[in-house]
Structure 1
Amino acid sequence: MDQAANSARDARSVPVCYRHPDRETGVHCTRCDRPICPDCMVSASVGFQCPDCVRGGSGTSHPPAASQPRTLAGGTVSADPRLVTKILIGINIAVFIAVRVQSSLLDHLLLVGTWPPKPFTPTMGVAEGEWYRLVTSMFTHEAIWHIAFNMLSLWWIGGPLEAALGRARYLTLYLVSGLAGGALTYLLAAPSQASLGASGAIWGLFGATAILLRRLDYDMRPIIALLVINLIFTFSWSGIAWQAHIGGLVAGVVAGYAMVHAPRKNRALIQFGTCALILVVTVALTLVRTAQLT
């Protein structure tokens, strides 16, 4: 009888709970990968964890190399999934207040190709070597309604996107979208046209959110309606740098697709490699425009 029982156990293909050997289970802890039964499952932000991992690995049988839970895009699940979004909002608000206190600061932060128009001197702008304006302009705003709209969009769209991608991937997406929007503005707008605002980066988040919703097979109608409404405003109101919106949107779609569709093998290489290619295109566009203006 004992030999028959042992043979039955050896032939069993379904693993058993590490705490209850008499219970078969197909669920594994997302951290240590040990099989756990329903009584041992502790709901986590991604999947289920075993009691030992929830207690911080105090169990004696806890393996030394426990894997961390990951987001859909492969990022690390964090305790505060909106931390980067909060920091970005804080930076934008701080710059807005600083400009209100000293208005002349805005002249050194906004995006402009070259100003005053040559042959007047002194000149300033990206064409004069001030490439930093492609970054600083992403955190400047003209009026309270401008920053309010962008920051509300950043909170509503950026927060869930940060939770889905992870901090590093989300921040990379934000920056490359903003830079791409600035580069397209620099390329197509008049050299003396000033541009400011986080709109390029925000539109990049819109594009990446659409890709994410499609990947999760969620209802696409709300994000499509939001994009259509914003496109109508973009091209119907004067004074809006539509180039930043389109450049950010395209970069966000491309980077977002790489973030959520990259295969598990070499996933980080594909994701950040795609963002690096977007930066290369951004630099190329900037060099082309600079050559035209100098």
Structure 2
Amino acid sequence: MNAQAPGAPTEAPTCYRHPDRETYVRCTRCDRYICPDCMRDAAVGHQCVECVREGNRTVRQPRTVFGGQVSATPVITYTLIALNVLAYVAQISRPRLVGEFMMVGVFTDRFGFVHPGGVADGEWYRLITAAFLHSPPDGGSFGITHILFNMWALWVIGPQLERVLGHWRFITLYLLSALGGSVLLYLVDPAGAAVGASGAIFGLFGAFFVIAKRMNAPAGGIVFLLVLNLVITFTVPGISWEGHVGGLLVGGALAAAYAYVPAAREQDGRRTVLHAAAGAAMLVLLVALVVVKTSQLAGMTAL
């Protein structure tokens, strides 16, 4: 049996990640030797890089009251505002963009004859692209105030909803509300034309009211704003009430699904799945309505 001779020098311990570096500090979690470059401060002593990384995986990320990831910056709201403004600049420089991307189900002339074009002719993109266009500066009684009001409302309400819902729930709510406004216009008045983010904005109004009631927060301000805008919608000529009401209905319904799904901590995973399913179900419903209406219009034009 070999034994180390008394007084013989012992081999100095080295870092497990850097074998050429001597160290006498151990990771308080895995007990391996670590050098200064591999040390990470812990509540007691130091931990190695791998233990810190593994620990971070098991730390529960903070969530909003409705299950979204906590974020201090409403990046989706700011992105939507930027896209609307860029689209407005583009349509001013090229006015024909409005006719190419506005919401219209079918094109009809003054004699009532239907011409190719519109959603019924396969241009489904109009259901969404119209929500990023607005009345041009010389657009009659609205003009630039159209985009100014919508962007003001998005700036005021958007960040609050985005912080409560999280990014993906908020963008889903916004886009489906915009789509809902276009779909109701298509169902009621397929020959009607419309542009603007108002359907999406009304969807945010409806969602804000539902969530405020769910959280027992004051809702008087949003009720006043909503009632005022509905009065304007039905009294001022030239406004697509279908777009506003459609967005309001979709936004309120989707927000109700977000707000009233069980919120117990152990059900966070299931809640996320149910929220995603609610958005998918709403999309399927809206698409189905468009398909049915398109089929009806095809039968009418074939006569």
- Which residue number corresponds to residue 159 of structure 1? 159
- Which residue number corresponds to residue 247 of structure 1? 246
Which of residues 108, 120, 124 is equivalent to 1:127? 120
Contact 2:62–2:69, Cα closer than 8 Å, also in 1: yes
Structure whose alpha-carbon radius of gyration is higher: 2
- Residues of 1 paired with 2:232 and 2:179: CA distance? 22
Q: 1:116 to 1:166 in 2, by over 3 A?
A: same
- Residues of 1 paired with 2:108 and 2:226: CA distance? 35
- Residues of 2 paired with 1:131 and 1:85: CA distance? 25
- Which residue number corresponds to residue 68 of structure 2? 75
- Which residue number corresponds to residue 98 of structure 2? 106
- Residues of 2 paired with 1:291 and 1:250: CA distance? 24
- Residues of 2 paired with 1:160 and 1:78: CA distance? 11
1:239 partner SS: coil
Would you say 1:223 and 2:222 are equivalent positions? yes
1:192 partner SS: coil
- Residues of 2 paired with 1:104 and 1:223: CA distance? 36
Would you say 1:278 and 2:282 are equivalent positions? yes
- Which residue number corresponds to residue 188 of structure 1? 188
Runs of at least 4 residues off by over 2 Å:
60-64, 116-121
- Which residue number corresponds to residue 291 of structure 2? 287
What letter corresponds to residue 127 of structure 1 in structure 2?
A
2:289 partner SS: helix
- Residues of 1 paired with 2:166 and 2:218: CA distance? 22
Contact 1:180–1:278, Cα closer than 8 Å, also in 2: no
- Residues of 2 paired with 1:197 and 1:76: CA distance? 29
2:106 partner SS: coil
- Residues of 1 paired with 2:276 and 2:214: CA distance? 19
What letter corresponds to residue 202 of structure 1 in structure 2?
I
Contact 1:116–1:124, Cα closer than 8 Å, also in 2: no
Deviation at 1:79, TM superposition (A): 3.8
Deviation at 1:130, TM superposition (A): 0.2
2:281 partner SS: helix
Deviation at 1:249, TM superposition (A): 0.7
Deviation at 1:195, TM superposition (A): 0.8
Q: 1:208 to 1:120 in 2, by over 3 A?
A: closer
- Which range is displaced more, 222-231 or 259-268? 259-268
Deviation at 1:260, TM superposition (A): 2.0
- Residues of 2 paired with 1:272 and 1:290: CA distance? 27
What letter corresponds to residue 273 of structure 2 in structure 1?
L
Deviations 1:140-185 (A, max 9, x none): 0013110001000011111100011111110011011111111001
What letter corresponds to residue 196 of structure 1 in structure 2?
V
What letter corresponds to residue 231 of structure 1 in structure 2?
L
Would you say 1:93 and 2:80 are equivalent positions? no
1:130 partner SS: coil
Deviations 1:235-270 (A, max 9, x none): 001111111111111111111111122113210121
- Residues of 2 paired with 1:180 and 1:192: CA distance? 17
1:152 partner SS: helix
Deviation at 1:292, TM superposition (A): 2.2
- Residues of 2 paired with 1:199 and 1:231: CA distance? 11
Count of paired positions: 235
Structure 1 segments unaligned to the other structure (5+ residues)? 1-56
- Residues of 1 paired with 2:256 and 2:280: CA distance? 14
- Residues of 2 paired with 1:239 and 1:114: CA distance? 18
TM-score when scaled to structure 1? 0.76
Contact 2:207–2:256, Cα closer than 8 Å, also in 1: yes
Structure 2 segments unaligned to the other structure (5+ residues)? 1-39, 136-142, 299-303
- Which range is displaced more, 95-104 or 213-222? 213-222
1:78 partner SS: coil
Contact 2:106–2:114, Cα closer than 8 Å, also in 1: no
**RMSD value, Cα:** 1.6
- Residues of 2 paired with 1:120 and 1:184: CA distance? 20
Deviation at 1:71, TM superposition (A): 1.0
Would you say 1:139 and 2:132 are equivalent positions? yes
